[in-house]
Amino acid sequence: MTTTAINLQSVQKVIGLGAVSSTQALARGLARMETHGTLILACQQNASFDRYGKPFPASEGGIYFTLILKPGKEIELTSLTRAMQNAITDTLKNVFELKTKITEDGDILTWDKAGRNYKKIAGILVEENESGAYLLGAGIFINNKLPAIFKSSCITLKSIIGSDTSKELFLDDVLNNFWKEYSFI
């Protein structure tokens, strides 16, 4: 049996921020000058919206990022969405043994035992910038507190497992999973 090492692409640069209006909005302005694999990462977003223009709860404790991709070829936005969805669900399933569902519009749901239904734990937003870059945004509810208005439809990982999770280790696993998926697009 032979083992083949796969040289996967990886994050080339990290722009880490405390609070920002939206990592996606910031990426739109930076996409032209930043390189492929630039990760814009924020502790919280103060004015983030989902793909329908509705407010997205992005308080301290979650993971919020936009990855700038410049693959040098045309890629379907649905392929990038699916790759990130799979990356996040793989982490939730393999590390935390959670039941998940992927929606067609970019959300990731997980089973809430207490509520006996699926609730949103993450959202994906992908767009192509006028500069030709792809902006792959994600928000994942990890250790944050959700506003009361979102508690019937959203859930955090902390509320499911009962303790804080390392955001850094979670993000590392998600990105490792993503680059594996991305290599097949």
Per-residue model confidence (pLDDT) at position 110: 98
For residue 90, is it within any domain? yes
Cα–Cα distances (Å) from 58 to 36, 46, 89, 101, 142, in that order, read 25, 7, 19, 21, 10
For residue 170, is it within any domain? yes
The CATH number of whichever domain residue 113 belongs to comes to 3.30.930.10
By residue range, what is the domain housing residue 57?
A: 13-182
For residue 51, is it within any domain? yes
Cα–Cα distance, 44 to 62 (Å, whole number): 7
Per-residue model confidence (pLDDT) at position 9: 55
For residue 2, is it within any domain? no
pLDDT tens string, the chain, 185 residues long: the values are: 444 444 445 889 999 999 999 999 999 999 999 999 999 999 998 887 777 777 778 889 999 999 999 999 999 999 999 999 999 999 999 999 999 999 988 899 999 999 999 999 999 999 999 889 999 999 999 999 998 888 899 999 999 999 999 999 999 999 999 999 999 99
For residue 44, is it within any domain? yes
Cα–Cα distance, 69 to 104 (Å, whole number): 22
For residue 6, is it within any domain? no
Q: How many domains does the chain have?
A: 1
Print the SS3 string covering 67-115.
EEECCCCCCCHHHHHHHHHHHHHHHHHHHHCCCEEECCCCEEEEEECCC
For residue 23, is it within any domain? yes
Whether the pTM exceeds 0.85: the reply is yes
For residue 39, is it within any domain? yes
Q: Which helix (H) or strand (E) holds 66?
A: strand 63-69
> How many CB atoms sit inside 10 A of residue 27's CB?
25
